[in-house]
Amino acid sequence: MRIAILGCGYVGLVSGACLAEIGHSVVCTDNDESKILTLNQGGLPIYEPHLKEIVARNVDAQRLRFTADLGEAVRYGDAVFICVGTPPLQDGDADLSAIDSAARLIARESRSSKLVIEKSTVPMQTGQKLVRALAIYARNSDSSFSVASNPEFLREGTAVLDFLHPDRIVIGVGNEPAETQLREIYRPILEQNVACPIHQQNCPPKEAPKLLVTSINSAELIKHACNSFLAVKISYANLIADICENMDADVEEVMQAMGLDPRIGPSFLRPGLGFGGFCLPKDIQAFIRLGEKAGVDVSLLRDAELINKRRIDHFLAKAVNSLWTLKAKCIGVLGLAFKPHTDDIRFAPAMELIGRLLQEHVRVKVYDPQGMEKTKALFPSIHYCADPYELADGAEALMIVTEWDCFRQLDWLRIKSLMQRPLIIDGRNLLPSDEMRAMGFEYQGVGIPTAEAWDMKSRAAS
Ligand code: UGA
């Protein structure tokens, strides 16, 4: 099928490349011409594992191309996916102006019938507004539109795998032809006829993805309901971690036991610096606003958001407790991206942390395998290190903010010898507390027993 993708951000690029990978002819466009230029020169405006190979392969096979001509892209697609940004406004509402522009563009440029699919995360009833806008701005008597909602459940860092091997595909439709067209678009994925991007072969399938056909309103709500639930789950884990810290219990043990209950499940129970990134924080805010407008009591969501906002205060309090005052201290921040395997720093806890450390006149050094370039635009004058050893050199504390796997493999004894004071404040429980303390680090994690309790335990054991 001929597919147009409006918006070359994370969602648009991954969706466009993967739809080409499963055999469709895809054109991607964006009103940021510099992105299109980068893509046409063989570059990628974002880092996402496996995306580079998939884009290159499909461009070579002439199933994927990029154009700055928005109208040409719209006219090309039988199906047009709207993948533009819906960033938060000051009051937490989603800014839908890019969706509105996309609707007007599609209406103005279309010369035939099109399936218009919202993929961006949008508040409920946006589909209805889209239908109206398309009808109002349509200019050509040969054009007609069906609207569908097809929320994405892509996680940054595993987005390609999530697209090609999803657990479920949700399609919110208002009529049968739209359903048929979407089933056709996703047929290779539903039939698991897709090579695994990692192994380039048909790996033993996990369960076949489920296709859920819903109303458009329900599809829009499903996305918000999922992201808000994940946010609540993380805040719950952080609440338990705070209780553990006060009681010298170990949150890792508690979460492990909770996760073994199949009704709860182990994922999204990792306590730490809280949820960041461009999705969970903005989606829970938008959902709160939506609920308030509907007159629903959303205090559960508000509390989850509040717990999340306090994570940095809590983390900094630990630093003050250990370092007495922060002013003029040299602190290394290990990890900038909002989570591993991405270069995305939007709403990353590290950004707020660095801002707060600078307010306290801390000498901040940072290192991240992927997130340094983007951070430089926000904090040009802090010290960017070539590797974690340069970061450790002379530091009076290391703060672990992103749980990159490669940090686990570091030569921690070497790091200890380089630091002015071997203090580690681990915001992600990345490192084994017992081993770090046995190595001589002053080690603080999240929701784990204090060094004093650990001392007592080791004395009792010996
Ligand atoms: C999230 C959802 O997981 C996707 O399903 C959804 O499609 C996407 O938003 C979206 O709306 O587009 P993503 O933002 O890539 O995906 O990141 P997550 O893996 O959900 O992590 C979000 C944040 O929660 C990160 O800061 C992570 O460090 C934090 N987190 C996650 C925890 O603090 N604890 C956990 O146990 C899990």
DSSP secondary structure of 101-128: HHHHHHHHH--SEEEEEE-S---TTHHH
Torsion of CA 401, 404, 409, 414, to 10 degrees: -30
The answer to whether 223-309 and 311-461 have equal CATH topology is no
Q: Which of 18, 28, 279, 385 is catalytic?
A: 279
The end-to-end CA distance of the chain, in Å, is 69
CA proximity to 375, closest of 334, 412, 411, 408: 334
Q: How far apart are CA 337 and CA 343, in angstroms?
A: 6
Ligand 1 centroid from CA 275, angstroms: 7
Residues 6+ apart with CB under 8 A from 20: 26, 54, 58, 61, 63, 64
Place of tokens 């993708």: 5
Is-contact 185 5, C-beta < 8 A?
Answer: no
Ligand 1 atom nearest the C-alpha of 273 is 33
Ligand 1 centroid from CA 101, angstroms: 28
Ligand 1 centroid from CA 274, angstroms: 10
Ligand 1 centroid from CA 82, angstroms: 22
pTM of the predicted model as reported, rounded to 2 decimal places: 0.93
Ligand 1 centroid from CA 47, angstroms: 16
Residue in 149, 280, 287 to alter for ligand 1 test, most ligand atoms within 8 A of Cβ: 280
3-state helix, strand, coil in the chain (%, to 5): 45, 15, 40
What is the reported pLDDT for 201?
Answer: 65
Q: How far apart are CA 322 and CA 320, in angstroms?
A: 5
Q: Where are the alpha helices (DSSP H) in 171-279?
A: 176-190, 216-247, 251-259
| Options 2.60.40.10, 2.60.410.10, 1.10.1040.10, 3.50.50.60; CATH of 223-309 | 1.10.1040.10
Residue in 311, 339, 400, 429 to alter for ligand 1 test, most ligand atoms within 8 A of Cβ: 339
Is-contact 74 80, C-beta < 8 A?
Answer: yes
Residue nearest ligand 1's atom 19 by CA = 155
- Alpha-carbon Rg of the chain, whole angstroms? 24
Residue nearest ligand 1's atom 13 by CA = 155
Residue nearest ligand 1's atom 29 by CA = 275
DSSP states of 413-426: HHHHHH-SS-EEEE
Q: How far apart are CA 288 and CA 298, in angstroms?
A: 6
Ligand 1 centroid from CA 300, angstroms: 19
Residue in 13, 155, 345 to alter for ligand 1 test, most ligand atoms within 8 A of Cβ: 155
* Domain 2-214, classified CATH 3.40.50.720, yes or no: yes
CATH of domain 311-461: 3.40.50.720
Is-contact 116 172, C-beta < 8 A?
Answer: no
Q: How far apart are CA 106 and CA 235, in angstroms?
A: 40
CB atoms within 10 A of CB 199: 8
Scored b (16 or more CB within 10 A) or e, 92-126 reads bbbebebbbbbbebbbebbeeebbbbbbbbbbbeb
What is the reported pLDDT for 62?
Answer: 97
Q: Which residues of the chain have pLDDT under 70?
A: 199-205, 462
Ligand 1 atom nearest the C-alpha of 274 is 33
Q: How far apart are CA 80 and CA 144, in angstroms?
A: 13
DSSP-derived 3-state class of residue 215: coil
Residue nearest ligand 1's atom 2 by CA = 155
Q: Which residues line ligand 1 (CB under 6 A)?
A: 121, 152-156, 227, 230, 234, 268-270, 272, 274-277, 279-280, 283, 338-339
Q: How far apart are CA 183 and CA 185, in angstroms?
A: 5
Long-range pairs for 174-181 at CB < 8 Å and ≥24 separation? 174/127, 174/146, 174/147, 174/148, 174/215, 174/216, 175/146, 177/115, 177/146, 178/115, 178/146, 178/147, 178/148, 179/213, 181/1, 181/78, 181/79, 181/115, 181/146
Ligand 1 atom nearest the C-alpha of 338 is 26
Whether 196 is catalytic: no
Length of the chain: 462
What is the reported pLDDT for 164?
Answer: 95
Could you tell me the residue ranges of all domains in the chain?
2-214, 223-309, 311-461
